[in-house]
A and B are shown apart, each in its own frame.
Chain A
Amino acid sequence: MDFMSTAYYDVRKIIKFLKIFALVAGPGIIVMVADNDAGGITTYAVTGAQTGYSLLWFMVLMGPVAYYVQEMTVRLGAVTKRGHAEAIFYSFGSFWGWFSLLDLILTDWMTMITEFIGMTAALSIFGVSPVVTVLICWGIMGFMVMQGHYWTWEKLTLLFCAVNMIYIPAAFMIHPSLNEVFHGFIPHLPAGGFTGSLFFLLMANIGTTIAPWMLFFQQSTVVDKGMQEKDILWGKLDTLAGSLLTVVAAVVVIIVAGKVLFGQNIQSAAQAAIALMPVNKYVGTFVAIGLFDAGLLGAVCISLASSWAFGEVFGWAHSLNHKVREAKWFYAYYFFDLLLAGTVTLIPHAPLVLITLFVQVAATVLLPAALVFLIILLNNEEIMGKYKNNRLENIINISIVIGLIVISTGYSLTIVFPTLIK
């Protein structure tokens, strides 16, 4: 009888926990899953095709990196009730503020173009023309934000996050060898050892783990959601769940590409989906749908990150809880971003490859600044009070930030000067 009553209360406790989690969860899961955007999926597909399962262990390491960085934005947002852009302006003055805002706007806009490239490439596999794809995307993205409720937007976006997990059944359908997969989680280098191209691949994977827009986006989302200091623990759990999901998605894409496309010259996720079609049309279809979904999630979140940043700094109404007429500049910038990025994708002979490369380079200018500001703010007792970084968090976070700065700079330099690692 004792056992029964204990079990009953345990189950009730778990249900209560899940109910609260379902209410508070959102920003962390969304930002982490959206991090696996069109560019990210391409990087994982290329990683799998080039190295098989050899770098699965490395992807697992990226989870804590993403978690520790993003977790800081939860605390900062919940305590200050300011988005990242506003926090930088307020704390460091207008010079660093404008530098961060303008760089964010440029980087976000360029990244948006890469998302549209991914989406048009994904739907072209099903015979949909780029014009129709762009129109569909504009329609979906407009519908998602124009509900006038943050909650509705969040749940709709979480639905798209669930679709992003479509790679999991795809991985099961290709029947990978479990022994080989388990071996992939044991740290080792691929056959051929540490080469220049492997170094580039590792840097590319790290580069996709943390992007500048993620810091701005999650902090603004935390503020828009109205999270309080008491919600910080839940926000951390939300971010942890998101980091697990992002690692799972990355791992399964690498497994699919590593099993079926290993040794092939794969340059993009769309190319991977096309190559998968003859092997298993369902898997190819799933990868194409996943790529479209990844691009869509990325585009929505990135565009919102910019709109929130503008709204915070200029003092416009900037909440998804506002109707369009109540926050017209906030929505106007969101749509302006979407229209501009989608239109550039449709321009014949636009230098899309150059734009894709430029995104990585521009991010290298913004990311270190955003991370340094984050660390400084999280160490300020006047701002953070008891939620400031403790010694252990500082050791972990500062190590991650220095590592990210060095590696993202190295990645950017090898893009600009490819002969550096040859």
Chain B
Amino acid sequence: MKKIFNIFRGFFTAVRDVNRKYKQPHIRMTRTISFALFMLRLYLFFIVAILLYKFISIATGRGLGGVP
């Protein structure tokens, strides 16, 4: 049990180390790059919202003639 706990603790420490190591982006944020990343965020928000909508429709039994 202690061994499993240690493995998890080690994993979370590793995640924290990764977060610390890559806290700041190393690429220079020009206007073009900021715009591209902003558009990417919008796109992902749109696609995830649609998928959530579909998921909720299936879960609540209001299928939209969708996933078999």
- B5 lies within 8 A of chain A by Cβ: no
- State whether A369 and B44 are in contact (beta carbons under 8 Å apart), knowing that A90-B22, A93-B25, A314-B18 are contacts in the complex: yes
Interface centre among B22, B51, B66 (most CB of A within 10 A): B22
Q: How far is the CA of A296 from the CA of B30 in the complex (A)?
A: 43
CB pair A416 B66 closer than 8 Å: yes
Evaluate whether A409 and B44 lie within 8 angstroms (CB atoms) in the complex, with A417-B66, A418-B65 already known.
no
- Of chain B, the residue at the smallest CB distance from A375 is B36
Q: How far is the CB of A316 from chain B (nearest CB, A)?
A: 9
Distance, CA A260 to CA B17, complexed state (A): 57
Q: How extensive is the interface on chain A, given as a class?
A: 35 or more
Is B50 an interface position by the 8 A CB rule? yes
Within 8 A of B (CB), among A174-199: none
The answer to whether B65 and A365 touch across the interface, beta carbons within 8 angstroms, is no
- Bound state CA distance, A354 and B67, in angstroms? 7
Is A416 a contact of B23 with CB atoms below 8 Å? Answer: no
A361 within 8 Å of B (CB atoms): yes
Question: Is A89 on the interface with B (CB-CB < 8 A)?
Answer: yes
Compute how far the CA of A418 lies from the CA of B25 in the bound complex, rounded to whole angstroms.
40
Do A416 and B54 have beta carbons less than 8 Å apart?
Answer: yes
A413: B residues at CB distance < 8 A: 50
Question: Which chain A positions have C-beta within 8 A of B68?
Answer: 353-354, 357
Size of B's binding interface in residues, CB under 8 A: 28
Find out whether the CB atom of B22 lies under 8 angstroms from the CB atom of A365.
no
Residues of B within 8 A of A97 (CB): 18, 22
- CB <8 Å contact, A94 and B64: no
Counting CB contacts under 8 A, is B28 at the interface? yes
What mask results when residues 341 to 371 of chain A are scored 1 for a CB within 8 Å of chain B, else 0? 0000000000001100100010011001100
Q: Beyond the given A372-B36, A409-B43, A416-B54, could you list 20 further A-B residue pairs with CB under 8 A, ordered by the A residue number?
A: A89-B21, A90-B26, A91-B25, A91-B26, A93-B23, A94-B19, A96-B37, A314-B14, A314-B18, A315-B17, A357-B67, A364-B47, A365-B48, A368-B44, A372-B40, A376-B27, A416-B50, A417-B54, A417-B66, A419-B64
Nearest 3 pairs between A and B by C-beta?
A93-B25, A91-B27, A89-B22
Residues of chain B whose beta carbon lies under 8 Å from any beta carbon of chain A:
14, 17-19, 21-28, 33, 36-37, 40, 43-44, 47-48, 50-51, 54, 64-68
